[in-house]
Each structure stands twice: as C-alpha cells, then as structure tokens.
A and B are shown apart, each in its own frame.
Chain A
Amino acid sequence: AQKITQTQPGMFVQEKEAVTLDCTYDTSDPSYGLFWYKQPSSGEMIFLIYQGSYDQQNATEGRYSLNFQKARKSANLVISASQLGDSAMYFCAMREPYNQGGKLIFGQGTELSVKP
C-alpha cells in the first residue's frame, strides 16, 4: 500500500530565507505522481507543484521547487525567499495507481510559520 510521511509537524523560518519541507513516500508501483498543497488558515487547498515518477527534471514553479530523489523515495518542497504569506499548513500527497482507485493519499502535514 502507498504511504506518505511528513515528519515535521511544525517549522519556523525567517522571512526571506529558504526552507525545506520533508516528504517521503512508499510505493511499489513504478508509475506515480507526487503533489504539494498549501492550506492557509482560511481553509482553501492551493495546488503548488507536481512531480511525475518518470519526470527527468525536478519540478519548479516560481519560488517553489521539488527536490525529487527517487532512490531515496523523497520529494521535499523547497520554498525560496520565504514571505509572511507563506505561513500555512503544507501537505504532500501521492496519487494511487488507477487500478487501486487513483485516490490522493495525503501526509499529516507540516505547519510553516514565517517570522518577520
């Protein structure tokens, strides 16, 4: 069965510094997708970045990049130049194979606080 692990319940970072949020996963399927979502206190889940298991390059979207290390089964999110608005809960998620329902499996989340 697929599993996502986020080991950092909470993290602090100084404004304008970079921060790495950890995510490890476990799957025996060769085809999978990894996602990161941001959830501010207002509640909406905001899609940030996606990495496919066959993608050769690490995904990047503006200040967000995904440090994908396939052999270590890790997909860490790197946020560069942190801003106060980055304070939120961050969820890593993996998509199950289609023949198992294709559902998103979420990690427990990391609460990031950006200090001025």
Chain B
Amino acid sequence: DTEVTQTPKHLVMGMTNKKSLKCEQHMGHRAMYWYKQKAKKPPELMFVYSYEKLSINESVPSRFSPECPNSSLLNLHLHALQPEDSALYLCASSQDWVQPQHFGDGTRLSIL
C-alpha cells in the first residue's frame, strides 16, 4: 500500500461532466504534485504545490483546476475534458523539493 492515497482509482466521464480527483497524504510532506501519464510514456508534470501554494503550473489547460485545501489534501477539478485527456493521473508528495517524491496508485481517467 502506498502512503499517498488517490481516489477514485478509475473514472469514466463524458466531455460535459464535472468531476474531481482527490489525493491525500499524512506524511507531513509540504510539496504535492499532479502528473499526467500516457501509456508507455514518462509522467508529465502538471502542477506543483509548495506549502499549500501553487508554485508551478506547466501551462495546463484551464479545464484542469487544482486545489490544495490543506497540507494533506490535493484535488484536481475536471470540467469539459477532451478525449485526449484520457490518461493515468498521478499524485505525488515530498518532504521538500530535494527529497524523493512518493507517488499514489493513480486514477485511470477515460473521457467518452
């Protein structure tokens, strides 16, 4: 079992739906990350939160909206997604920017 918990594990949604991905960690880590990963490819960084503030947005389309309600939680709000947004979405956390990132199991997202 990973120490970073992501829900749901699978999500199928239509292009007009609104849904949210949730990530939780209780390791006291102060940095949290969202990645998108296509099959057989490396993860691509989307967002970084440091001390609950957004520090990096890798020019992600506005249909993806991150939120960090507190130091343990990270959400990714989804709205009006496109079929090409179908992917594995990984959340990660680390003590700080130096320490290794620990990943959750991911959410497999399919857009119909």
Q: Which single residue of chain A is at the shortest CB-CB distance from B50?
A: A102
Count A interface residues, CB 8 Å.
23
- Residue A68 interfacial (CB < 8 Å): no
Q: How far, in whole Å, are A107 and B43 apart by their CA atoms in the complex?
A: 9
Q: Which single residue of chain B is at the shortest CB-CB distance from A49?
A: B100
Contact for B42 among A46, A107, A111, CB less than 8 A: A107
CB of B42 within 8 A of CB of A109, answer yes
- Residue A44 interfacial (CB < 8 Å): yes
CB of B108 within 8 A of CB of A43, answer yes
CB of A108 within 8 A of CB of B41, answer yes
Q: Which single residue of chain B is at the shortest CB-CB distance from A50?
A: B100
Shortest Cβ distance from residue A89 to the other chain B in the assembled complex, whole angstroms:
8
Q: Which single residue of chain B is at the shortest CB-CB distance from A96?
A: B97
Interface residues of B in 82-112 (CB under 8 A from A): 88, 90, 92, 97-98, 100-106, 108
Contact for B100 among A47, A103, A108, A109, CB less than 8 A: A47
Binding site for B on A (CB under 8 A): 33, 35, 37, 42-47, 50, 89, 91, 95, 98, 101-104, 106-109, 111
